[in-house]
Each structure stands twice: as structure tokens, then as C-alpha cells.
Amino acid sequence: MRVEQYGDRNGRLRRNRASGAIVAEPSGSEGRQAALARTAWRRALGLFPPAWLLLALALLAGCATTPRQTPPPYLDEPPPLVRPESLKEPPEQITRRLTTEEQLAELARVVAETRVMPTLGKGDVLSISVYDEPDLGIASVPIRPDGMVSFPLIGDVAAAGRSVDELTATISERLARFVIAPRVAVIVTQLNSLNYTVNGEVTKPGVYPLVTDVRLTQAIAHAGGFKQGQFRSSSVEVADLSTAFIAREGRVLPVDFTRLFRQGDLRFDIELQDGDYISIPSGLSQEVYIVGEVNKPAQFAFREDMPMSRSLALAEGFTREADLSRVHIVRGALSNPSLIVVNFKQVLNGNAQDVQLEPNDIVYVPPTYLSQWSQMLNQIVPTITAIQTGIILGNTVGSDGN
């Protein structure tokens, strides 16, 4: 760009040839100072860029040279979601219990279904007579270990495994060759082959012969009654009748022990049969049972803060048939219990509520092929009976060894 300068007495005129514009400049020292100032600024701007430009360049340089800082992996992950206990699926509680009249009706039905005609066995004592034939009678003759009994004229007769009527018919038939129309009477004086078991908090637990007709109250009396303990210098009964039960052929009979022995309701005083098992738990000792499709079904000591999930670990795992979606907690008497059904899989996933166990609870892990409670009960009773019998035998052997 070319600039022509013109002078006069007031100063200088500057003409820009490119644009043709004429600009007046002051003369003298003021003009020179202004020109010097403009020149200094032009040089400064040419040598030093503006501050905003320096700042921008600094930021760009920092972005190009500083590596990108990434947070640790665990900071990118959201925290685990813990569902409040109130939002988890509650267990299914089946609290419908039978009334007294319903229990009595059910008891009559089960007794009728399980009633069997007793048969003779080894050790039973018989008295056999023939009407008008005093020489042919025998008295108080036991059935031998081979199951036979000897009778005049006819010799050995098989008696074990037969009913009284069947034995009477056999003897009459064989005597008919020697006596005209014999009338034979067979009387059982002792039924030593039949027995029942009383276990738990009685004075003399054990196996008792069913010698004659024995009712439930008589069986407890034969066992010495309920065991007594000391509490604050006073004798107290330690039996827990609310959880007592009687089992027959693996089935629990709906007998209300509390009403029978505390209130004298003799409608529950049933007649015993061969093989009946009576269990009287203790009100002082506290334990829980874990049975069913577990690797180690057993009785375990109860502890405070004992949830079902941790308690199942005591049984050392499950079998392949275990149905973990329907774990049953049996609370109260087996004859009339309250049931709590828990989905154990959902408990482990944190989607279902756990259940705090109580003393004498039974945790039952059913197999996948059982769906009805009555079928499950038939599996529970034999296991508990076996566990309790094993404890009795262990205590007996231990006491004998001492």
C-alpha cells in the first residue's frame, strides 16, 4: 500500500492511493508521538499475539499432550441393588388348623383305615381247650421260635402269622379225624410279639409289649408318666404336649395331647395297635429338624437368629430330587400343624423373604414328585422316628458303656 504525504503550515495530509482517502495528521511533536505509538503497537501485535489467542493455543496444546484420564472400572458400574425386606416376596403361610370336632372326625377315619386284625407271633402265650375233652386242653403254652405250637393228637401246628380264628379252624379240622365235631377255643393270654414305643420326656421311655388292650393314657402310665424337672426349687413337668404326636404305619394320628392329658378329653384316648410310636418332646431342650431331600437329615440344636437359609447349610447340601421352590417349615404339632412354604431359590436371589426358625420347627425339603401335604407327612414321620430312635439307642449304648 502506497501513501503520499502533503505538507502545510497546520500539519501534514496523508493520502492513501489505493482508496484515495486523504487523512490529516497533526504536525510537530504530537504527530511524531502518535506515529511512534502506532508503530510500536503494530510491532507489538506482530511479535506478540493477543492473550485470548495464547489461551486458546495453551488449551489446544494441553489437550494434545495430556492423556485422557479414565475412571477405574468399578466406578463405572452401578452399585448393587438391595431390595428392602418389605418388597421381597413373602412366604406362603398355611395357617388353617382343624377344630376339635374336625380332629375327632379325622381321627375316627384314620383309625378305621389303619385297623388291622392282630396276628399271633413268636413268644405269644396261648391256652387251647376242647369242649367236653378235658384231656386235650393245654394252658399257657408259648409259641416256639419256629412259630409252631404242639397239641395232643395232632402234633405241631403253625401258629405264628395266623389270626386266632385261623388257628382255631386249623386245629378243629385236624382234630376231626379223632374227635367228632370238636369245638375248639383258643385264648391268647399274652401277646408278647406285639409292641409299641414311647419316646421322649417320660420316666421310662422304651418299647413295651402290647399284652392286652392298651389305650394311650395307659401307655403313658406304663412308662411312668411324664418326666419331672426342677425349676426354682419346684418340680415341673418338662414334656411339651403341644408338639407331642402318635404315629401309626407312618401316619400321624390327629390326637390332641393337650386336651387329652390337661383337660381330660377322653375322646382322644385311642386304643393302641402293634407298632404305634408315641413321641413326647421336651419343653426345655430346643432343636430343629432338617429332613427330606438333603444329604444329612438330622436334629440340630436351635440357636437365636437362626434363619432357614443358613440352617439348611447344616444338612450338607441337597439331593438331585430336591424341590427348592417348595421348602416346607412345619410349626406346631404334626397332628395339626401350621405350614410355611418358602421358595428357597428366590431367597438366595434376594427376591423372597427368609424365615426365622423357632424351637421344634421341622424344615422339610420335598422331592419334585410329591405335591400333597399328606404325602409329604408320610415321608417326614419315619425320618423323625428314625432320628429319635437313633438318639435313644446312642444314649443307651453310652450309658451302658459307663
Query: What percentage of the chain exceeds 70 in pLDDT?
Result: 70
Residue-averaged pLDDT of the chain: 78
- Cα Dmax for the chain: 184
366 falls within a domain: yes
Which of the four pLDDT bands, split at 50, 70 and 90, describes residue 376?
confident
Q: What is the pLDDT of residue 9?
A: 46
Q: Are residues 175 and 225 in the same domain?
A: no
108 falls within a domain: no
Q: Which three cell numbers stand for residue 223?
A: 412308662
254 sits in which H/E element: none
* Between 87 and 102, residue with greater pLDDT: 102
104 falls within a domain: no
Q: Are residues 258 and 315 in the same domain?
A: no
- pLDDT tens-digit map of 142-180: 999 999 999 998 999 999 999 899 999 999 999 999 988
Q: Which three cell numbers stand for residue 50?
A: 493477543
Q: Are residues 267 and 291 in the same domain?
A: no
Which of the four pLDDT bands, split at 50, 70 and 90, describes residue 197?
very high
| Domain count across the chain | 3
238 falls within a domain: yes
Q: What is the pLDDT of residue 396?
A: 46
Q: What is the pLDDT of residue 2?
A: 47
Q: Are residues 231 and 180 in the same domain?
A: no
Which of 225, 254, 283 is where one domain is finished?
A: 283
Which of 283, 316, 343 is where one domain is finished?
A: 283
- Cell 505538507, located at residue: 7
* Residue 400 reports pLDDT greater than 60: no
* Between 390 and 121, residue with greater pLDDT: 121
Q: Are residues 290 and 352 in the same domain?
A: yes
Q: How far apart are the first and last CA of the chain?
A: 128
Q: What is the pLDDT of residue 53?
A: 55
150 falls within a domain: yes
CA atoms 201, 203, 205, 208: torsion sign: negative
Q: Are residues 377 and 350 in the same domain?
A: yes
37 sits in which H/E element: helix 28-47
- Characterise 300 by phi-psi region: left (phi > 0), alpha (psi -120 to 50), beta (else): beta
176 falls within a domain: yes
Measuring CA to CA, which residue among 134, 135, 137, 188 is closest to residue 159? 188
CA atoms 221, 224, 226, 232: torsion sign: positive
9 falls within a domain: no
Q: Are residues 297 and 334 in the same domain?
A: yes
Task: Please give the residue range of the domain that contains residue 267.
Answer: 199-283
Q: What is the pLDDT of residue 128?
A: 92
- pLDDT tens-digit map of 218-257: 999 999 999 887 666 666 678 888 889 999 988 889 999 9
What one-letter code names the amino acid at 256?
A: D
Q: Find the range with the poorest average confidence among 288-297, 310-319, 377-386, 392-401.
A: 392-401
CA 137, CA 158: separation in Å to the nearest integer?
A: 17
Q: What is the pLDDT of residue 215?
A: 95
376 falls within a domain: yes
Q: How does DSSP classify residue 242?
A: G
Which of 168, 190, 212 is where one domain is finished?
A: 190
Q: Are residues 278 and 291 in the same domain?
A: no
Q: What is the pLDDT of residue 82?
A: 47
Q: What is the pLDDT of residue 109?
A: 92
Q: What is the mean pLDDT of residues 290-298?
A: 90
CA 72, CA 77: separation in Å to the nearest integer?
A: 9
Q: Are residues 292 and 377 in the same domain?
A: yes
Q: Are residues 302 and 382 in the same domain?
A: yes
CA 324, CA 312: separation in Å to the nearest integer?
A: 11
Q: Are residues 249 and 273 in the same domain?
A: yes
Q: What is the pLDDT of residue 223?
A: 95
CATH of the domain at 267: 3.10.560.10
Q: Which three cell numbers stand for residue 249?
A: 404305619
CATH of the domain at 156: 3.30.1950.10
* Between 74 and 211, residue with greater pLDDT: 211
* Between 33 and 286, residue with greater pLDDT: 286
Distances (CA, A) of 195 to 276, 296, 337, 391: 8, 30, 28, 20
CA atoms 241, 242, 248, 250: torsion sign: negative
Q: Which three cell numbers stand for residue 73?
A: 472400572
Q: Are residues 224 and 213 in the same domain?
A: yes
